[in-house]
Amino acid sequence: MAKKKIQPLGNRVLAKRLEAEETEKGGIILPDTAKKKQEIAEVLAIGPGKKTNEGKLISPAVSVGQTILIDKYSGQEVTIDDEDFLVVRSDDIIAVVEK
């Protein structure tokens, strides 16, 4: 089955949460229920941006492939083809994480 292509609209960004580490510093292995949601995600696609009142297009400040830090409760979680994604407004992106 072919993968679906998802293109965000407006000033929205499609991202995928990065996996949480399975062990803590002390070597304790955490079950899935004890792991907290990561606020770090990778940008997979970006929308064209939002228009100002004058009609000028302001594109999101991130690009595909960047790692971002997002607000904990922001965005809409969606599941497509058994994969979980996150659609967030570009305004809800706190920072770009440099590697």
Find the farthest-apart pair of alpha carbons in the chain and give their distance in angstroms, rounded.
56
Q: Please list the ranges in the chain whose pLDDT falls under 50.
A: 1, 23, 34
Render pLDDT for 33-50 as a digit per residue (tens, 0 to 9): 545 566 899 999 999 999
Q: Which residue has tokens 């229920």?
A: 33
CATH class name, domain 12-18+37-97: mainly beta
CB-based contact 12:88 (threshold 8 Å)? yes
The predicted pLDDT at position 99 comes to 77
The predicted pLDDT at position 67 comes to 95
Cα torsion 30, 34, 89, 96: sign: negative
The predicted pLDDT at position 33 comes to 52
Domain spans in the chain, listed from the N-terminal domain onward:
12-18+37-97
Cα–Cα distances (Å) from 88 to 46, 60, 81, in that order, read 10, 11, 19
